[in-house]
Amino acid sequence: MTSADELRNKQQLYFDDLEVGQEMPPLVIGPLTSTHFFRWSAAIENWHRIHYDQNFAIYHEGLPTVLGQGSWKQSILPRYLKDLCLPNGWAWKVNFQHRTMIVPGDTVTVWAKVTSLSIVDGLGMVELDVGMRLDYGAESCPGKAVIVLPLRGGRPVPYPFVPPKAEALQEGAE
């Protein structure tokens, strides 16, 4: 896990420092327990019993045990991308699939790998493959993301970020 102090004092990651195929520093969370799942259910007021009632999950729903929430995954991946971009980049887009279920005992490694780099309007567009790998090798959330990073000596990434026009993106990709 990344501490708050580490995030407050994080050095900026610059577009210039990346290359295609580069793996970003992973975020490891776990082993997860049913307490993590219950805490998330309480935090977002998701009272579906499959997340905290093991008897219900197994005997009523036919599930292996209680399950980690999809919404938890949906919070962790953007958080990971946001942390990569801090302090002055922007996690622009992410999409992913929910595949392997996360259950108590699993340890999750959130990862990203650079697939494409382009400069648009003076900003660094970084396309990534992303996911959440479980400790036994299964992929729980394969997906793709775009983060925006400043260039060394370049203009700052606007806050809030304003997506470039489609034509500019097209030019950057060429």
Pick 60 or 152: Cβ nearer other proteins: 60
Q: How many Cβ atoms from other residues are within 10 Å of residue 159's Cβ? A: 8
Among 2, 22, 46, 65, binds other proteins (CB under 8 A): 65
| Strand order from edge to edge, sheet including 143-149 | 27-29, 108-120, 123-134, 143-149, 90-96
Stretch that binds other proteins, among 36-44, 80-88, 111-119, 134-142 (CB under 8 A): 134-142
CA–CA gap between residue 92 and residue 159 (Å, rounded): 12
Q: How many Cβ atoms from other residues are within 10 Å of residue 155's Cβ? A: 10
Stretch that binds other proteins, among 13-21, 53-61, 67-75, 85-93 (CB under 8 A): 53-61
How many Å is the Cα radius of gyration of the chain?
18
Stretch that binds other proteins, among 17-25, 52-60, 117-125, 140-148 (CB under 8 A): 52-60
Output DSSP code: residue 139.
B
Among 4, 11, 19, 62, binds other proteins (CB under 8 A): 62
Residues that bind other proteins (CB under 8 A): 55-56, 58-62, 64-65, 103, 105-106, 134-136
